[in-house]
Amino acid sequence: MGFSFVSDADTLRLVQSVAIFHFALTLLLLIVVLSMRVSLRLRERRRQRFSAVWPPILADAVDVATSDLPKLARRDLPDFLLLWNHLHESLLDESKDRLNQIARALRVGQVALGMLQSWNLRDRLVAIVTLGELREHSAWDELWRMTQHEGALVSLAAARSLVLIDAGKAVPQIIPLLLTRADWPPARVAEMLQTAGADVISDQLADAAVKSALEETAGNADGDGNSEPNYAARLVRYLELAHNTSALPAARTIAQSSHDPQVLAACLRLLKSAEDLTIARQCLAHEDWRVRVQAATALGRIGEDDDENRLASLLSDRQWWVRYRAAQALVNLPSMRESKLAIIQAAQTNPFARDILAHVMAEVQLQ
Amino acid sequence: MTLVNFILGIEYFFLLYFLALHGGYFALDIIALLTVPRYMQSRVIGDLPHSCSAFDLPISVVAAAYNEEAIIVSTVRSLLQLNYAEFELVIVNDGSKDETLEVLQQEFKLVHFPEAYRARLPSARVRGIYLSTLYPNLRVIDKDNGGRSDSLNAGINVARYPLLCIIDADSVLQRDSLQRAVQPFLEDPRTIACGGTIRIANGCQVRSGFMERAGLSTNFLALFQTVEYLRAFLFGRIGWSPLNGLLLISGAFGVFHKESVVSVGGYNIHTIGEDMDLTMRLHRQAIARGVPYRISFVPDPVLWTEAPESFKVLHSQRVRWQYGLGECISLNRDLFFKRGSGFAGWVAMPFNLVLEWLGPFIEVGGYVFMVVTYLLGLLSFRSFVVFLFFAIGLGMLLSVCALLLEELSFHTYPKMRHIVLLFIAALAENLGYRQLNSFWRLEGLVRWLLGRKPGWGQMTRTAAWQAEKLVSDDVAKL
């Protein structure tokens, strides 16, 4: 016995010590976990006390201006800011002004400015959102610096706060960022642009989209091969949030010059009047199905009886979504009747075409 | 080679394996400890109210149901109440022998619908597709029995939206789960799949298909599995996710980019570990195409599922899992050390092969070796005890680390009693349960080597956690 390393006295002592260390660490972790739970309990109790005081005050302040405010304890500040921001996101403008009066009375702005430098991401994000809702102009430079942050959460929150502070000043600075920040979720960008309002974004967004699309088209024509990031398509997509008077001319200009399928598809989503019929019809035969499906959808909105044969031919498209949208567009044509649809269906030699028409006709009946 | 050298060699082999296994787990643990607090901090923005827009990604939620007449209505009702802007629900009745289809037809006023869909994935014969006249976003596929994978393929064929959420029909999804699981797709367009945490529902209370109160089971097997799941999801998955080395998006809950799933051929109906196989094929395809991609994990979209409470069912489940792991590794061996495969091919695959798949063989071999050398007088009693103490201590430490992560993040179990109970379970599961698991997994490994595929077995669900809900539903009907 004792010829192997597991029987070696020194090894055994070492392993034994490590094992004891493991058990000690395990117990220590238990103590840490229990202390965290105790601390959580205390926080919850404090939150309950906070909830008894501040939510009613803020809720009342939404209806009536108030100047009689209790002192806000420093430790209640995180909960206050969360509640305050939550209400802000759920309320209309007039009520927001009253919430801001309360926050200013409590000198929340200064605290939030200090929190911008916090190492804690949560504090920083809350501070960014708070400063935006407070329309805190003094935070402009710092927030602008934060729009360049590598993390999407921080940069997008900062951009949105700038929009809240001064949309007219922020939008021209932020639109170029939309071209480069692929990590900004489109739904959140759209929310930000909606916050800025169509009056502010329409012309600038339209100009930027046209410029970007033309540059990309020129770049592709020059054969620089840099076709990966589709900036123009991204901007054209946001034109849905702009006024038609700006969005439609831009979409038409871009659709006539761009050959990029994503850009074309985004433009087709915007077309809304009979003068766009030519563009939509031309795109029905595009080699990319994403363009064909949007062209069919556009004809569903603006198509005329003349488009019957064009749409019927798309019922045999190899892409399901094209067939489906073409069938919906056919059903929506001005003079289309059930009997006529039955004739079109019977005339189809392709079973996929017959099936998709039956599908859409059944949908209509159910509606 | 002398006996001394032989024994010494074996000892070093076991030591190396032991250090690699626990070193790997601790590395994942550290990554998770760094990742989770930051993730929790970042949630503050997502928790604020947001307006929904056409820019949100619509999702098709697909669930397969087989003989689920008792719970399918409440499951569908709860799914219809998910907080998400635009989603459709596709329930696949996999040739149930009970009244699953009939109760759905009655409850949701289903009508037969001539759906023109693209059968891009193979599946058993579809008998009919039904549309709810009450909920336009609910469709039910009735098909011949073909198993879960086959049903999911049928559901994917009918799904319309760019994102797919695959869930188990007999589980409970948290109301905000879709919102959270879709975040990686919004924030990083390279994302092709995202998993969420699965938790054990035994001991919890569910009302109307939603989790009302988290709790712990009094059944010790379910309790041990609660700790196991915490370990697997809170540092196993979270640890691999930032490295893009996640090889498993659980079949019970996962969100996928639909075209990616279709392009790899959907679920493989011939494998037992169909969810892991799908995840590995997604890796392989993206790597082969040279496309930048991400397979992510977000810890807080939570799905609650029932864990087996009997040795028989648990044994069958673990044998199947191990067999499935062997199948998946074998079928996807191309991923090993493939150029451009990153952590998935260079670290996660070897980790899964050596430490997870071969692990039970080495672990059981280690126990046998210790006992035999002790009985032969080649190992002192003290050495035997000290090394056992060392191994068990390390296992306990890892389990307690998972509790720490849970406390750092979600505080799912509300009472102090729960923490103490989980701690006791985290210690106790190392005293027999883990070893038993190793034996079961070894059986799975041997079965794979012998080509003896285990059956699906019978998962006896008590659904005690749903009892209140069933009663309340029944009362509502009266």
Which of A90-99, A115-124, A354-363, B102-111 comes out lowest in average pLDDT? A90-99
- Region A174-182: what's the mean pLDDT? 89
Question: Which of the pair, A66 or A353, is modelled with greater confidence?
Answer: A353
Of B4, B113, B419, the CB nearest to A3: B4
> Nearest chain B Cα to A123, which residue?
B41
Share of chain A above pLDDT 70, in %: 93
pLDDT in tens, B146-163: 999 999 999 999 999 999
pLDDT of residue B478: 30
> Nearest chain A Cα to B395, which residue?
A22
User: Tokens 């994978």 map to which residue?
Assistant: B149
How far is B150 from B147, CA to CA, in rounded Å?
A: 5
Interface contact A191-B53, CB threshold 8 A: yes
Residue B234 has pLDDT above 70, yes or no: yes
- Region A57-78: what's the mean pLDDT? 80
Of B54, B187, B411, the CB nearest to A40: B411
Cross-strand bridge partners of residue B478: none
Residue B438 has pLDDT above 70, yes or no: yes
Within 13 Å of residue A231, how many CA atoms lie on the same side as its CB? 21
- Give the closest residue to B275 by CA, choosing from B313, B304, B222, B237: B237
Question: What was the ipTM of the complex prediction?
Answer: 0.83
Q: List CB contacts (< 8 A) between B41 and chain A.
A: 120-122, 125
Longest pairwise C-alpha distance within chain A: 99
Of A33, A186, A323, the CB nearest to B419: A33
Q: What does the DSSP assignment read for A35-87? A: HHHHHHHHHHHHHHHHHHHHHHHHHHHHHS---------GGGHHHHHHHHHHH
Q: Classify residue A197 as left (phi > 0), alpha (psi -120 to 50) or beta.
A: left
Parallel, antiparallel or unpaired: strands B126-132 and B163-168: unpaired
Mutate to test the interface with A, among B36, B187, B371, B431 (most CBs of A within 10 A): B187
Residue A80 has pLDDT above 50, yes or no: yes
Produce one character per residue of B146-175: b if its CB has 16 or more CB atoms within 10 Å, e if not: bbbbbbbbbbbbbbebebbbbbbbbbbbbe
Of A25, A153, A240, the CB nearest to B397: A25
Interface contact B49-A86, CB threshold 8 A: yes
Q: List CB contacts (< 8 A) between B49 and chain A.
A: 86, 89-90
SS (H, E, C) chain B: CCHHHHHHHHHHHHHHHHHHHHHHHHHHHHHHHHHHHHHHHHHHHHCCCCCCCCCCCCEEEEEEECCCCCCHHHHHHHHHCCCCCCEEEEEEEECCCCCHHHHHHHHHCEEECCCCCCCCCCCCCEEEEEEECCCCCEEEEEECCCCHHHHHHHHHHHCCCCEEEEEECCCEECCCHHHHHHHHHHHCCCEEEEEEEEEECCCCEEECCEEEECCCCCCHHHHHHHHHHHHHHHHHHHHHHHHCCCCCCCCCEEEEEHHHHHHCCCCCCCCCCHHHHHHHHHHHHHHHHCCCCEEEEEEEEEEEECCCCCHHHHHHHHHHHHHHHHHHHHHCHHHCCCCCCHHHHHHHHHHHHHHHHCHHHHHHHHHHHHHHHHHCCCCCHHHHHHHHHHHHHHHHHHHHHHHHHHHHHCCCCCCHHHHHHHHHHHHHHHHHHHHHHHHHHHHHHHHHHHCCCCCCCCCCCCCHHHHHHHHHHHHHHC
Interface contact B427-A183, CB threshold 8 A: no
The pair phi, psi for residue A319, each rounded to 5°, is -100, 130
Spatial strand order in the sheet of B191-200: B110-112, B126-132, B138-143, B87-94, B59-65, B163-168, B253-257, B191-200, B294-305, B172-173
Mutate to test the interface with A, among B48, B88, B190, B420 (most CBs of A within 10 A): B48
Of B131, B188, B419, the CB nearest to A37: B419
Contact A337, B93 (CB under 8 A): no
pLDDT in tens, B255-302: 999 999 999 999 999 999 999 999 999 999 999 999 999 999 998 878
- Region A138-143: what's the mean pLDDT? 96
How far is A47 from A40, CA to CA, in rounded Å?
A: 10
For chain A, the residue count is 367
- Give the closest residue to A154 by CA, choosing from A165, A146, A142: A146
Q: List CB contacts (< 8 A) between A185 and chain B.
A: 183, 186-187
Average pLDDT, chain B: 89
pLDDT band at B477 (very low <50, low <70, confident <90, very high): very low
Contact B165, B282 (CB under 8 A): no
Q: List CB contacts (< 8 A) between A186 and chain B.
A: 55, 186
Average pLDDT, chain A: 88
The two tokens of residue A241 are 């949030």
pLDDT of residue A356: 95
Q: Classify residue B79 as left (phi > 0), alpha (psi -120 to 50) or beta.
A: alpha
Interface contact A29-B403, CB threshold 8 A: yes
Q: What angle do CA B74, B80, B83 make, to 5 degrees?
A: 125
The pair phi, psi for residue B263, each rounded to 5°, is -70, -20
pLDDT in tens, B417-434: 999 999 999 999 999 999
pLDDT in tens, B367-422: 888 888 888 887 888 888 888 888 888 889 999 999 999 999 888 998 999 999 99
User: Tokens 């069933």 map to which residue?
Assistant: B470
Produce one character per residue of A243-273: b if its CB has 16 or more CB atoms within 10 Å, e if not: eeebbbebbbbbbeebebbbbbbbbbbbbee
Interface contact B404-A29, CB threshold 8 A: yes
Within 13 Å of residue A288, how many CA atoms lie on the same side as its CB? 11
Please, what sign has the CA dihedral across residues B201, B47, B181, B80?
Answer: positive
Of B116, B133, B189, the CB nearest to A356: B116
Residue A3 has pLDDT above 90, yes or no: no
The two tokens of residue B62 are 């697909």
Residue B473 has pLDDT above 50, yes or no: no
CA distances in angstroms from B72 to A360, B95, B210, B395, listed in the order given: 28, 14, 13, 39
pLDDT in tens, B290-342: 999 999 999 887 899 989 999 999 999 999 999 999 999 999 999 999 998 99
pLDDT in tens, A300-350: 999 999 999 999 999 999 899 999 999 999 999 988 888 999 999 999 999
Amino acid letter, A249? P
- Give the closest residue to A126 by CA, choosing from B410, B39, B46, B33: B46
- Give the closest residue to A358 by CA, choosing from B109, B137, B112, B60: B112
Residue A1 has pLDDT above 50, yes or no: no
For chain B, the first-to-last Cα distance in angstroms comes to 80
Question: Which of the pair, A355 or B235, is modelled with greater confidence?
Answer: A355
Please, what sign has the CA dihedral across residues B323, B325, B326, B330?
Answer: positive
The pair phi, psi for residue A165, each rounded to 5°, is -70, -50
How far is A11 from A5, CA to CA, in rounded Å?
A: 7
- Region A16-20: what's the mean pLDDT? 89
Give the number of other Cβ atoms within 10 Å of residue B403's Cβ: 23
Q: List CB contacts (< 8 A) between A26 and chain B.
A: 393, 396-397, 400, 427
Interface contact A186-B55, CB threshold 8 A: yes
pLDDT of residue B470: 40
Interface contact A153-B380, CB threshold 8 A: no
pLDDT of residue B389: 86
